[in-house]
Amino acid sequence: MPRVGVEPSGIKVCDLGFRWGSCGKGGTLNFHWAAILLPAGIVEYIVVHELAHLVERNHTPDFRLKLERTLPDFGARKVWLAGQGGGFLGL
């Protein structure tokens, strides 16, 4: 993904329970099937979040900086997902 500067080794869509995405050790990104129901800007945040984990495995300040450089409004998207996302999972 040129915008973020990294490329996953693979992408899987599955049921991740209460998580929207995850980054596997081998560089495979996993996304919850229900993410397709979310607004496009929120899906973009989830994808960029997982892509950033290919560079920074943990939620460090460098990780947040990577998110902010790619999505300057990532904080607002994160807040929206935390407040509204559960409804898309039937929570």
CA–CA dist 10, 72 (Å, integer): 26
CA–CA dist 86, 6 (Å, integer): 29
* Whether 9 contacts 26, CB under 8 Å: yes
Architecture category of domain 10-89 in CATH: 2-Layer Sandwich (3.30)
Sequence ranges of the domains in the chain: 10-89
Q: What is the pLDDT of residues 59-91, one digit of tens each?
A: 999 999 999 999 999 999 999 999 999 888 775
pLDDT of residue 63: 94
* Whether 76 contacts 26, CB under 8 Å: no
Q: What is the pLDDT of residues 13-66, one digit of tens each?
A: 999 999 999 999 899 999 999 999 999 999 999 999 999 999 999 999 999 999
CA–CA dist 17, 6 (Å, integer): 26
Q: Cα 66 from chain centroid?
A: 12
Under the banding of pLDDT at 50, 70 and 90, the label for residue 5 is confident
Name the token pair of 15: 């049921």
